[in-house]
Amino acid sequence: MNLIGTTFTGLLGGRGITASDRAQIYNLTRCTFGAGVFAIYSGNAASAAGTVFKISQCKLGPAPANWLIFAGDGGGTVFNITNTVIFCDAVQGNLINNQAHAPLNNTWNFVQCTVTETQPGGGIKNGRQLLFNSGNSSGSAYFDNCLINWPGSANTAVSGSGIPVTAGINFVNVGSSAGDAFIGVGTQPTGNPQLVPDGYHLAPYSPCIDAGTAGLSAADIDGNARPFDAGYDIGCSEVHKAPFVFVSGGGTALATAISGATDGTYIIVQDSLDYGPVTVNHLLHILAASGQTPRVVADSSINSGQAVQVTTAGLDGDWTGISVVQNAPGGGGGHNVFTISTGAGGSTYHITNSTISITGSAVDAKALGLGDNAILRNVTLTRTDGNGNPLINISGRGGGSTLLSCTLGPASGNAIQKRRKCWRNADLGQLRAYGD
């Protein structure tokens, strides 16, 4: 049976695939077994032996309150799981039953897979086991180029004690392990794999890039050819490596990193400290590490009070998760706390998941100056200082900007103000404005 691009969802009390009666080969490619779906029942004693599941470029889970895969009623089944992501949450601890009627000589091959709990809706589950083998010592499990990402879960096991495990290179990020036959087998780099918010794609600065065994797979979960760069990536996704700098310590550390960077560099702030003003004069990706809430704080004696100035050389970059604030009077007078300069056209600056604010005594400033096209997504602009300057001042090419799911206010003056020499109209999508 061949299933390609098939989605299983809303199967309350049912299963995605039930194998029974006779041996069968199942080829599953680019299939999705949605949240709460019991994905696969692999067969009973009459049908399991000789059955093969080839699962490639699929998405499974999170599991329902019983099993993601049940392979406990019959032995002799082979599972070849490649370029697949398994999502986890706080509901079910044991994801794959490989022991109910032991001994069960099933074969499990996990290659280029990602098992994660940090996707939207994911969650911690102490004692989680991917392969639940209790009482079963038959069969085998093999892992290579896999990424296990359970950073918040304790006493976990990728393959519970019982069946023998062999492995190549696998990246492991778990809270702690207990009774895991997988841990310590093969090569296992550890630490933060640096994933993007979907919980399974690698960020361009991930240590999993180019770190895997070569030649195990020709394409990733998205169909991208492997490898992109000098080596094969660990996990289900393959990405291009980018230059990056990790920043910590507050003060001038962020400004120093920015001034020394080249176009295309990712600058990741790894703490929640306050940093001094910055001038962004390269095409840079500046962001807060997951779980961190750093701020850039204006200084009236530096750059006319601007906390962040994006020059024309930086206009195709982006700023994510770092708040910007002026919390004391002073500066150039009528300046912007966050400035996007006017360029020659054709560029767009992105600001995402950030707060830009003015607090304290009255400050003669605007929160944000849009001189060129920008896309603001989930950005809050607010001022509580009592000054009547607008939150957003639009000039030059800034009229082509887009605001998505943003919040403007409170403020004592206008939320958005356009100067007369503004070339286009802004697109305001899902905008919320208060107190303007």
Per the document, the length of the chain is 436
Encode pLDDT of 289-344 as tens digits.
Answer: 989 999 999 999 999 999 999 999 999 999 999 999 999 988 878 899 999 999 98
What are the pLDDT digits (tens) for 154-196? Answer: 999 999 999 999 999 999 999 999 999 999 999 999 999 999 9
What is the average pLDDT value for the chain, to the nearest integer? 93
Q: Quote the strand ranges of 57-119, DSSP E.
A: 59-60, 69-70, 78-82, 85-87, 94-97, 107-111, 114-116
The answer on pLDDT for 424 being more than 70 is no
Helix %, strand %, coil % for the chain, to 5? 5, 40, 60
Judge whether residue 431 has pLDDT over 50: no
Kindly state the percentage of the chain with pLDDT values over 70.
96
Per-residue model confidence as pLDDT tens digits over 348-407? 999 999 999 999 988 999 999 999 999 999 999 999 999 999 999 999 999 999 999 999
Q: 34 falls in which pLDDT band (50, 70, 90)?
A: very high
pLDDT of residue 436: 33
Residue-level pLDDT at 420: 54
pTM for the model stands at 0.88
Strands lying side by side in the sheet with 355-358: 274-275, 295-297, 323-326, 355-358, 380-383, 407-408, 432-433
| Tens-digit pLDDT profile for residues 70-110 | 999 999 999 999 999 999 999 999 999 999 998 999 999 99
Q: Does residue 434 carry a pLDDT above 50?
A: no
Of 54, 112, 56, 59, the C-alpha closest to 88 is 59
Q: Give pLDDT, residue 331.
A: 84
